Structure formats: C-alpha cells, structure tokens
Structure 1
Amino acid sequence: MKFRRTLLGLAMAATALAFTQGAIAQSNYKAEYKMSLVLGPPTPWGMSGKIWADLVKERTQGRINIKLYPGVSLIQGDQTREFSALRQGVIDMAVGSTINWSPQIKELNLFSLPFLTPDYAGLDALTQGDVGKKIFAAVDKAGAMPLAWSENGFRELTNSKKAIRTPVDLKGMKIRVVGSPLFSDTFTALGANPTQMSWADAQPALASGAVDGQENPMYLYTMLKMHTVGQKYITTWGYMADPLIYVVNKDVWNSWTPADREIVKQAAIDAGKQGIALSRKGLVEADKPLMKEAAANGATVVNLTAAEREAFVKATRPVYAKWKNTIGADLVNAAEKAIAGSRK
C-alpha cells in the first residue's frame, strides 16, 4: 500500500508539474500575433492566411490569436524586406512568396528559373517531395520555421500593345517585373525592357501607358480587372510559378508548447491545401473559366503551341544556366529529376 501511495504521489506531482509548466508557457503567449501577407482576402493568397489564422484560433481554443496584415503593411509595403523583418521579430508569422524571399535565401530562386516547371504536376513534385524538404531546410537555416506550402500560381504575360507569340514580339517592350535580378535577366534575354516597381506603382504606370505589360497569376488579372488598364493581350506561357510558404518566427515558435506547435503546423498544412485549390480554381477545369472571363472582357488570349513555347525556352537558357550555379547545381538537378519523374 505504501508503495502504491508513493507511486500515486509521484504521478500526481508529475501531472501538477506538467500543468504548471504548461501554464507558465502559456502565460508567455502574446495576446495577438502579427501575420504578414502581400495580398489579403479575397485573393487565394489572402484566404490562405485567413484560413490558417481561423484554424489556429479554433484548434487552440483561443490561446493563439492571429491578426492579418495584408499589403506587407508591417514593413511599409516593401515585399523584399519581409523575411528579414520576420527573422528580426517585427513579424510573428507569414505566408510568404518564394520570389520575395529569394534575396535572403538563394535556394528560393529555384522556382523563378525560366521554364523549369511545365505544369502543376511538376510543381507538386517539387514542393511535396525531397526538393521541398531541402528548401525548408534552407529556410530554417536562414532563421525562420517553415511549416507548409501554398501557392500563388503560374505567372502569365499581359500587355497593351499586341499578341505575343515569339521572343521577337517582346523586343523593346517595357514590362513591369518584381524586384528580383533573375526576373530582370529573363526579360532582358527575351529582348524586353524590364522595369522593376511595386504593384502600387505599376497600376498607374500601366493605365497611363508608361509601362506596356506585366506578368502575374491569372486570378489577379480578372480580380483586378486589368483589362481596364489596357492589358488586353494575354500570353499563357507558364514560365514560372510562385509557391508560398507558411512560416513562424523562431522565438515565437519556441515560446509555444509542443502541443500548440503541432496544432499550428497541422493548421498550416490544412490551410495550404485549400490555398493551392483556390489558386488553381478557374484554370484546372476543362473550360478554364478564368480565361473565358478574360476573353469576354475583350482580351485576346494567346495559348502558345509547344514549338512556340520552346522558342522562349531556348532564348532564356543562358539565364537558366547562369542562375543554376547561383542557386546550387545539385538542387536544380534534383528539381529537374523530380519534374521528369512527374511526367512519366
């Protein structure tokens, strides 16, 4: 009996200690966590973040409350500073673009290699396989905790001048690109005049004709009614995709209990699956409703043949080769192998 009482006493003490430690840990929780997003709801990107925040609040019974800050408003709209701010603790959490974080994490330039990924199957082979794990290891090493993937879609080309079917058609055209040297190299190789600017600056530039065209996912074309700013020619070339990554600041991550960390991670995985489905909606269906909507608004839609697309691939191969070494030849080779496997 005495032995049993001793065991019972030890068990109760251990339970009390665990409860106390959990209570102490949770007392260090913030009343609210700041999540940075470039785009807010109702875009697929913004919805990815909202779904994550809602799931976390529900599953932690309100222990972790997250507020969305779209427009990267926590850093005055400077997308390329987002990862640095996350690492420094200005931002607690983010659903971030591989493009925007590539200046700080060179491996993320993989997804921006021109014409690396031909389709969604190839993209899934990267993010959901060993390459995705290698990318997450790079993000972790750079100073943030990566949890799951979402997606901002393949980026298509639009302009106000003419239908683009060959690299020659792009010669001399002013194309707005994001602030990444790889994008500038790609469009320079195609004979265009790449112009780096924020999206806030791009819209009036497109409307006035100061800039001829831009590249972005198709859902943005229809959502932002880009036909109203002169973008009446669309070329679907799928030259690169923009996966999104769910991350948490490491100090924040370490402040949570192991159970809550698992909840936040699973919520990110679940939200990411929904975000991917939202980003592809209107494009994976047989009749591609988003393209039909664009055409109904007066846009001329050019769907490149395999031979036409190959001309763009050939024109950008020197850029691909240059950046392959910058990114890491082993990682690019692994990506090429994964994509080839997805096509069998």
Structure 2
Amino acid sequence: MLSSAVAAGLAMLLAGQPASAEALKPEYKVSTVLGAPFPWGLSAQRWADLVKERSNGRIVLKVYPGAQLVGGDQTKEFTAMRQGVIDMAVGSTINWSPQVSQLNLFALPFLMPDFRALDAITSGPAGKMVFDVIATKDVVPLAWGENGFRELSNSKRDVRTPEDLKGLKIRVVGSPLFNETFTALGANPTQMSWADAQPALSTGAVDGQENPLAVYSLAKLYTLGQKHLTLWGYVADPLIFAVSKPVWDTFSPEDQALLRAAAADAGAYGRDIARKGITVEDPSLLTQIEAAGVTVTRLSPAQQKAFQKATAAVYDKWKARIGADLVTAAEQSVAASR
C-alpha cells in the first residue's frame, strides 16, 4: 500500500504530464486514394515518417491508400474526415469539391498554364481563401501537395483539336464540372472511381482518361491501350494535407505546429516527385513514355486556344458558381506569374 507521501508525489507527477500525451491515439489513420510508388502516396508516407521522427515516436500516422477507409469511394473522404471517422487525409481538391465547391477552382479549364501559375495560386490570396473555407467545415488544412497537371490519353487516335475528342468515351472523376467540360468538347464523359477505371480501360469499356503523367506512367496505362497521349495541361490537381477538427483539437499547440511543419515539408517533397521528368529542363519521364510506343502530342499555343474557346462557356458558368472573387484572385495571381 502506498504511503501518503509517495501517493502525493505520484499524483503531482501525473498532474505534470501534458494533456496531449494522455489524449494521443496509438495510431492516426491517414486516407489517400493512391499509395506508393505514386507521388501522392509517397508524400503521405513522408508526412507519417517526419511526424514520427520529430515527435520521437509519440505520434504515429498510418497511411491507408485506395480510399479504403471510405469503401473505395474517394468522394466521401472529406465528409468522413469532417465527421471524425477519418483522422487525417492527403486529399485531392477534385475529390473534395462535392463538399467544398470552391475547390472546383483548380478544375476550371485552362486557368493555369503551367506550374508557375499553379504555385502562384496556392501560395497567394486565392490559396488562403480556399483554406479559410475548408477551416469552416470542421477540417483543418495544413499544407498543399501535388498530384499534377492532368493530361489526356486514349486508345483511338491522336487528339490535337476539340473535334478529335468527339464521340470518345472518357473516364472522369465524380465532378459535374469535369462532365460539363468534356461534354462541351464533344466527348462522352463517364464517371467512375480510380479502382474501376483501370479494368474499364483494359476491356475497352471506356476509350480514354485524364490523369497526371506520373499516374499514367506508374500505372502503365500504355499497356491498357492508352497509346495516344496529349499534353494539354487543362487542369491541375493539387493535394491538401488536412486533419479532422475534433482530432486536431486533441493535440497540444506544440504538436499542432509539428504536424503542420511536417505536412509542408512532405508537400514540397511530393511536388518535386510529381514534377520530375516532365519539364523542359528534365523530360526524362516523357522520353520513357515515348519509348513504350506512345505517341505524345504537344499542343501549340494556337491549338490550346481552340480547346480554351470550346470550354469558355463552362469556365464562365463555373466562375460564378465557385465565386467570382475567388476566381478573380486566382486569375490575378496567374497574370502576375507571367
């Protein structure tokens, strides 16, 4: 039986422990759609590794790829995190746009001509406005990551003009904006999850798809008949590192700062991977893709303008729906980046 002196000392010792230490879970579940070796999964794992290292093993994040925490339906990820079913996520702005309409900003056709323009948006006033909106929905956004600019592939023909898209059945993500964009171009957009997309391409149930080049290459979509690749950079797909607000509130300010800094570093790491081999300075990934027998079509500025003109009505409609102030702020950042 403890003496009164020892008991009192033990009580003082326990009282001195930080509340965050008592509240920590053995594991925090992090949802992603793609795992390693895709840049998306690698950046999520980098976040987990940095948090574990910098917390001396106190905070353990475990990455669950394939949207498995939401039964494979990636569009339910944000809601699940908002409700506290998922602790954290590294999510696509596209997949979260059904719940946060402002995230459709990045899916406006031909808003961002290049990485410089994308960075200007995410690091500028528009990026802050987007994070402010997310923060009102019981989700705490920490940092930007990257999936990449989404390029077009198909099994039928080279695409150089909007007319070349007519009649092609293209797999798109579950977003009305994507549906309207491809419909305006004369294609037949078909919504399906990534898990369903690869079998559909393999069987020819759909003719094509749009995804970042890292996804196209690592998933070896050229082996599924996707031999015609068009670099048109019509939309980008930034990722967001985020934490459920109920979970976030259990961390001490020091641990919150640790999670935020680690997310920023992991996001930068993922951006570097997503852009590797597809720039003018380093076209090595594109060279590998062409070596696999893929015809790579690079649109000239004049050719790209034809696509831009064909989707202008969609852009204008969605600018009003997303919020003219937000879109104008993004347009101004793009102009300043030129």
TM-score (norm 1): 0.93
Distance in 1 (CA, whole Å) between partners of 2:79 and 2:148 is 24
Pairwise mapping of residues 228-307 of structure 1 onto structure 2 (< 5 A)?
228-307=223-302
The equivalent residue for 1:128 is: 123
Alignment check: 8 A CA contact 2:29 2:87 kept: yes
Post-superposition Cα deviations, 1:11-34, rounded to whole Å, max 9, x if no partner, equal xxxxx9998465333111111100
The equivalent residue for 2:196 is: 201
Post-superposition Cα deviations, 1:283-338, rounded to whole Å, max 9, x if no partner, equal 12524111111110000010001100000000000000110011000100110000
The equivalent residue for 2:50 is: 55
The alignment status of 1:160 with 2:138, answered yes or no, reads no
Alignment check: 8 A CA contact 1:152 1:217 kept: yes
Q: Which residue identity is paired with 1:194? A: P
Alignment check: 8 A CA contact 1:22 1:257 kept: no
Alignment check: 8 A CA contact 1:33 1:66 kept: yes
The equivalent residue for 2:210 is: 215
**18 and 267 in structure 1: CA distance in 2 versus 1, 3 angstrom threshold:** farther
Post-superposition Cα deviations, 1:17-59, rounded to whole Å, max 9, x if no partner, equal 9984653331111111000010111110001101100110111
Q: Number of residues paired by the alignment?
A: 328
Distance in 1 (CA, whole Å) between partners of 2:15 and 2:307 is 62
The alignment status of 1:322 with 2:317, answered yes or no, reads yes
The alignment status of 1:147 with 2:142, answered yes or no, reads yes
Alignment check: 8 A CA contact 2:37 2:218 kept: no
Distance in 2 (CA, whole Å) between partners of 1:21 and 1:300 is 65
**305 and 36 in structure 1: CA distance in 2 versus 1, 3 angstrom threshold:** same
Alignment check: 8 A CA contact 2:138 2:246 kept: no
Q: Which residue identity is paired with 1:39? A: L
TM-score (norm 2): 0.95
The equivalent residue for 1:74 is: 69
The equivalent residue for 1:184 is: 179
Q: Which residue identity is paired with 2:332? A: K
Distance in 2 (CA, whole Å) between partners of 1:18 and 1:159 is 65
Distance in 2 (CA, whole Å) between partners of 1:271 and 1:167 is 37
Q: Which residue identity is paired with 1:196? A: Q
The Cα shift of 1:77 comes to 0.6
Post-superposition Cα deviations, 1:123-148, rounded to whole Å, max 9, x if no partner, equal 00001111111110011012200100
Distance in 1 (CA, whole Å) between partners of 2:161 and 2:76 is 35
Distance in 2 (CA, whole Å) between partners of 1:124 and 1:20 is 46
The equivalent residue for 1:29 is: 24
